[in-house]
């Protein structure tokens, strides 16, 4: 069988090796120019390739596997229809663990996947977390596990044909990635494909759109936001108090993530108290409402992973009153920013902006009569925000945009923020 791989990123690189090991012919089509190492690798595998274009040569293949970055209106792939699938389809047809748990959502999916994987490992289960989290699904072939936690993006779900998901979790649905999806409906319908694939469906029952959409499915289990008392180190679930001392999870988004994970663990067979004990020592991934330092009474938080307006709104919910100086930056995703402006008016005392986001949102900020300043770069943004903040207040990097205007990824952006903050400590 001939497979055409459209895009030669991390997932298709791993898949290419697996397909060749299985004796399949492979053709790689990459829109960018391949580097010498990639060409050498393909030649050593005996793989034909093209670079700098995606030509109709793709259509010769029996199966066409697309990278998640390939858009729905791709001029060649859109002609193929039934031939198109993902690395997820291919690998899970070859090897399915006993329990596959798929997790998607606008916000929180990486943390939820990491949290669930941590709990299952601590409980002694054989488990791996693969997919959009950065570990290609093709690595499953070399592993012998009972539980697979699979992070799924809207891009992956859009292109996937049929995934054998035992438990599907949608953390929330808010507008996002409207630079890739032609409409919000297209985006949430792509997310909802996870429920089409799943036997048991877990969803955020406080998300109005998601709750409405979930009514069309059987075998659904809703989860609510956990009530927490950080001072007393207790949380309330279903009217009962439980001790819980993991301060890392007392942020707004992490309490939602925790609720989702507890619900999944209950489905698997754990009691609530058992589930919570498994998560007492869990540390969330970096760049998500991460405390960096306190300088002269001002607290600095790195939330670089908030790459949409909805995520930044969620971040601002962690703070009461107007005690936040917010740093906005990044590349927009064709979103409606009015809800974010409303939340800024409610929660923030000032805004510092740079990058593409500044030009996108400055008029709305000025119209709302919010104190603001446009600067050139992260160094200036952090120093300006610090000068605006008073003791007891917060400087929050929660960009509301993707990093690709100025940085390689959100990690690089967050690390830059942390370096500048720590330079203030030294200065």
DSSP string, 56-120: GGGGGSSEEEEPTTS-TT-TTGGGTGGGEE-HHHHHHHH---SEEEEEE-SSSHHHHHHHHHHHH
Known binder of ligand: residue 107? yes
How far is it, in rounded angstroms, from Cα 218 to Cα 206? 18
Known binder of ligand: residue 109? yes
Element (H, E) at 404: none
- List Cβ neighbours of 21 (8 Å cut-off, separation of 6 or more): none
Question: Where are the alpha helices (H) located in 334-400, listed in sequence order?
Answer: 338-347, 356-367, 378-388
Known binder of ligand: residue 110? yes
Q: Are the C-beta atoms of residues 45 and 20 closer than 8 Å to each other?
A: yes
Radius of gyration of the chain (CA): 23
Known binder of ligand: residue 111? yes
Known binder of ligand: residue 131? no
Q: Are the C-beta atoms of residues 140 and 95 closer than 8 Å to each other?
A: yes
Known binder of ligand: residue 108? yes
The per-residue b/e assignment along 164-181, b for 16 or more CB within 10 angstroms, e otherwise, is: ebbbbbbbbbbbbbbebb
Q: Show binding-site residues for ATP.
A: 105-111
Binding residues: 105-111
């Amino acid at each position: 069988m001939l497979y055409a791989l459209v895009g030669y990123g991390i997932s298709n690189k791993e898949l290419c090796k697996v397909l060749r090991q299985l004796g399949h012919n492979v053709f790689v089509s990459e829109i960018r120019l391949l580097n010498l190492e990639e060409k050498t690798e393909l030649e050593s595998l005996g793989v034909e390739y093209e670079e700098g274009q995606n030509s109709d040569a793709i259509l010769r293949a029996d199966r066409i596997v697309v990278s998640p970055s390939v858009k729905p209106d791709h001029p060649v792939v859109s002609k193929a229809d039934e031939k198109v699938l993902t690395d997820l389809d291919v690998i899970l047809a070859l090897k399915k663990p006993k329990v596959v748990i798929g997790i998607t959502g606008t916000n929180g999916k990486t943390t939820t996947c990491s949290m669930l994987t941590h709990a299952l490992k601590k409980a002694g289960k054989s488990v791996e977390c693969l997919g959009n989290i950065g570990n290609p699904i093709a690595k499953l072939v070399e592993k012998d596990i009972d539980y697979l936690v699979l992070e799924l993006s809207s891009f992956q779900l859009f292109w996937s044909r049929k995934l054998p998901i035992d438990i599907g979790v949608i953390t929330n649905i808010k507008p996002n990635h409207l630079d890739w999806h032609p409409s919000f409906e297209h985006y949430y319908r792509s997310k909802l494909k996870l429920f089409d694939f799943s036997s048991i469906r877990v969803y955020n029952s406080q998300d109005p759109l998601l709750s409405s959409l979930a009514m069309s499915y059987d075998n659904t289990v809703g989860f609510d936001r956990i009530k927490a008392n950080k001072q007393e180190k207790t949380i309330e679930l279903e009217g009962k108090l439980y001790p819980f001392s993991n301060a890392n999870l007392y942020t707004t988004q992490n309490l939602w993530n925790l609720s989702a994970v507890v619900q999944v663990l209950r489905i698997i067979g754990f009691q609530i108290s058992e589930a919570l004990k498994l998560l007492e020592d869990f540390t969330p991934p970096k760049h998500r409402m991460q405390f960096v330092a306190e300088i002269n009474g001002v607290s600095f938080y790195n939330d670089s992973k908030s790459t949409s307006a909805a995520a930044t709104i969620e971040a601002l919910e962690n703070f009461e009153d107007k005690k936040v100086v917010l740093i906005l930056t990044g590349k927009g995703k064709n979103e409606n920013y009015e809800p974010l402006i409303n939340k800024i008016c409610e929660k923030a005392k000032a805004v510092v902006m740079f990058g593409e986001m500044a030009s996108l949102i400055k008029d709305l900020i000025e119209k709302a009569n919010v104190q603001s300043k446009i600067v050139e770069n992260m160094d200036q943004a952090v120093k300006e925000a610090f000068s605006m903040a008073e003791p007891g207040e917060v400087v929050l990097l929660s960009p509301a945009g993707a990093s690709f205007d100025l940085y390689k990824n959100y990690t690089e952006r967050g690390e830059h923020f942390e370096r500048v903050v720590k330079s203030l400590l030294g200065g």
